[in-house]
Amino acid sequence: MPNFVLWFMGPTSSGKTTLSEQLLGKLRARNETVIHFDGDEVRDFFGQGHGFSADDRLRVVATLVHLANKSSAAGVGVLVSALTANADAREYISSHTNNLIIGHVKCSINTCAERDPKGLYARAKNGEIDTLVGFNTPYHAPDSPDLVIDTEKLTLDQSTQLVIDYLVRSNYIALTQ
């Protein structure tokens, strides 16, 4: 079976990381070899050198693509959770990522702002930050994702099962392990 790079994109607080972490556990429980890369973790690892400008965001995406391709080439299934809001970043991902599956983690900005686990929407509302995509600038859903996971309507377990079912149907993982 081919390896995959499943790239979850969606607005801040839509559930990309939460879904990825649960999916990681479920796939590993099925003896799948899989890894998760998170955009915020990559940004934090590189520290102050990666801000939130368009160029900085593209550098983070390029780093994630590199890590994903290396892992996939080594026989590992890859989950990536990253906002990926800009057209140039999405084009870069599409043209540079092997075995790419785009998963749109769909959730209204109002619900994302209600969830707000990192307090980013509250900080944006208070004028403390001006780079929050979905609040300070519009978030545009990807044009034609391979998979749409509506975390506003589906529970975490339902969302996870939806992804597993997709991976089975697409022959990336076996029906049973």
Whether 114 is in a domain gets the answer: no
pLDDT top residue among 133 and 140? 140
Q: What is the pLDDT of residue 125?
A: 87
Tell me whether residue 52 is in a domain: yes
pLDDT of residue 169: 95
The pLDDT mean for the chain works out to: 89
The total number of structural domains in the chain stands at 1
Domain with residue 24: its CATH number is 3.40.50.300
Q: Answer yes or no: is 70 within a domain.
A: yes
Handedness of CA 90, 91, 95, 96 (dihedral sign): negative
Domain that holds residue 30: 5-108+143-169
Residue 128 lies in a domain: no
CA-closest candidate to residue 61, choices 33, 34, 94: 94
**pLDDT value of residue 73:** 95
- Tens digit of pLDDT for each residue in 11-67? 989 999 999 999 999 999 999 999 999 988 887 776 555 555 667 778 888 999 999
The pTM (predicted TM-score) of the whole model is 0.90
